[in-house]
Amino acid sequence: MQKMLSVLLLAAAPVVAFAKPVTYDFTVIGDPSGGAYAGAIANGFFTYDDTVVQAGQKISATNLFTDFQFSWGGTEYTESNTLTAWLGADAMGTLNEFMFGNDCMPGICWAFRTPQSWSVFHGASGVVNSISYMDQGMVRSGTIASWTLRETPSAAVPEPGAFVLAIAGGLAIALFGVRRRRAATRTQDQCVIE
């Protein structure tokens, strides 16, 4: 029984899931028709783990970004004060739709609930491609001028659960080794006594 458990643990221990960070740079332009941000240009980026959204999926959740940077309306936004509404990938696994902002819940963001509200939305069809925000008491819509995949080679990062599995496997192997040594010592002691 012990041998079978040892073999199973040894077989499972090397299985480690790796998450690769995916980063997109984006540029938005404020509504050209007026307001304090008319024609304003702002750049930013967002990063998420490639294990979050699989090919052909749309995931609605609020904390999908592992890194985020964007400045709008004089405020710096990071992953700690920016929420996702969703991320979606096409059949090849490439990001093709997203929504994020500073006033979101899974599936939706608002651009009108506070004077500082804003959201960025890109639909899978590309028809909706905008930044919406409050400006002088009005909801205005600008455009996403660009969003591009950042081509930087990065090392894969093990998933947190992989560490737990690896540590549990190592401890189990060590425990079986200790038990085996104790059993061998008891057997030797019995031989000496007889």
Find all residues with CB under 8 Å of 173, minimum gap 6, and list them: 6, 9, 10, 13
Domain check: are 65 and 98 in the same one? yes
Domain that holds residue 106: 22-149
Domain check: are 132 and 69 in the same one? yes
- Counted domains in the chain: 2
Within-domain flag for 13: no
- What pLDDT, on the 0 to 100 scale, is given for residue 98? 95
- What pLDDT, on the 0 to 100 scale, is given for residue 121? 94
Domain check: are 181 and 108 in the same one? no
pLDDT in tens, 121-170: 998 776 678 999 999 889 999 999 998 999 755 555 555 555 555 565 65
| DSSP codes joined into one string, 15-27 | ---EE-EEEEEEE
Tokens 């639909």, residue? Answer: 123
Q: Residue 115, class by beta-carbon neighbours within 10 Å (0-12 exposed, 13-18 middle, 19+ buried)?
A: exposed
Within-domain flag for 58: yes
Q: What is the mean pLDDT of residues 65-83?
A: 95
Distance separating alpha carbons of residues 127 and 68, to the nearest angstrom? 24
Domain check: are 119 and 181 in the same one? no
Give the percent of the chain with pLDDT over 70: 68
Between 80 and 192, name the one with better pLDDT.
Answer: 80
Within-domain flag for 69: yes
Single pTM value for the model: 0.69
Is the pLDDT at 85 greater than 60, yes or no? yes
Domain check: are 116 and 185 in the same one? no
Q: What is the mean pLDDT of residues 73-85?
A: 94
Distance separating alpha carbons of residues 177 and 55, to the nearest angstrom? 43
Within-domain flag for 12: no
Distance separating alpha carbons of residues 28 and 37, to the nearest angstrom? 11
Within-domain flag for 5: no
Within-domain flag for 14: no
Is the pLDDT at 14 greater than 60, yes or no? no
- What pLDDT, on the 0 to 100 scale, is given for residue 7? 47
Phi, psi of 120 (to 5 degrees): -120, 130
- What pLDDT, on the 0 to 100 scale, is given for residue 19? 78
- What pLDDT, on the 0 to 100 scale, is given for residue 33? 92
Q: What is the mean pLDDT of residues 1-14?
A: 49
Is residue 14 helix, strand or coil? Answer: coil
What is the residue type of 80?
S
Q: Lowest-confidence range among 7-11, 27-31, 155-159?
A: 7-11
Within-domain flag for 48: yes
- Residue 189 Ramachandran class (φ > 0 left, ψ -120 to 50 alpha, else beta): alpha
- What pLDDT, on the 0 to 100 scale, is given for residue 69? 97
Q: Lowest-confidence range among 29-38, 127-136, 172-181, 185-194?
A: 185-194
Tokens 């093990």, residue? Answer: 158
- Long-range CB contacts (within 8 A, 24+) of 5-11: 5/172, 5/176, 6/172, 6/173, 6/176, 9/169, 9/172, 9/173, 10/169, 10/173
Q: What is the mean pLDDT of residues 97-119?
A: 93
Q: What is the mean pLDDT of residues 34-53?
A: 94
Domain check: are 141 and 162 in the same one? no
Q: Residue 48, class by beta-carbon neighbours within 10 Å (0-12 exposed, 13-18 middle, 19+ buried)?
A: buried
Domain check: are 141 and 172 in the same one? no
